[in-house]
Structure 1
Amino acid sequence: MPVEDDETLREILNRRTIAVVGCSSTPGKAAHGVPKYLLEHGYDVIPVNPFADEIFDRPAADSLSDVDERIDVVCVFRPSEEVSGIVDEALERDDVDVVWTQLGIVDDEAATRAEDAGKTVVQDRCIKVEHRRLVA
């Protein structure tokens, strides 16, 4: 079951390196504003977007497999139908502890696969809203 309790959400929000899949370079989009907020609150945000070279003055990776740094949390800003492939990529990495899908993004089958592989899953929640509510 995806995480629902505040204690576990706080623990997740204590992890510092977040790869944002679908990170946008367009101000005004949630996929831009949320990772910018995370950066402003001390997180190491790794933008993942194959259509951008750089976001927030940081190099943008084409995919999770192209990220050299350790990743604690994969935060997903892509449509629900793309979550399965993103989870597959996350499962290929030994360092990813958490897969977090933003508001309105749900794939129960992919969530179950991630959990069965030992990953913590948060679905259909905004990481910025949860940070403001539980940490800030």
Structure 2
Amino acid sequence: MSVNQKATGFLAEFRKFIARGNVMDLAVGVIIGGAFKSIADSLSNDLLMPLLGLLTPSGLSLSGWTIGPVAVGHFLDTVLSFLITAFALFCLIKALNVFHRKKEEAPAAPPAPSKEEILLTEIRDLLKERS
């Protein structure tokens, strides 16, 4: 087997792998997750932190907190952003699950009776009338 055949086989296998649905779903999820992170960061930095700052007498700014030479504030900001992102995703997934459950629980209309059932019902009714 030549090097060219190995490369062609490898590329064909790679194309088959990429074309799978799971890989494409994962790629879309990563892209949407990145966009969602920017929304969560904005929620944290632009809405929640200023509101928390109003509740504290000196204003809340975690990014300036240090313990000796270690800048703890930025780490705490990152942890807070992660928690907000995780909580928002939890709420979103919970809402989607409720939506899907309601969609699944909706009773389907009973199927129309078949020709055989209609005929048997007519026969049953005729037999009742005779007796």
TM-score (norm. length: structure 2): 0.18
TM-score (norm. length: structure 1): 0.18
Q: Which has the larger radius of gyration?
A: 2
> As a proportion of its length, which structure holds more helix?
2
> As a proportion of its length, which structure holds more strand?
1
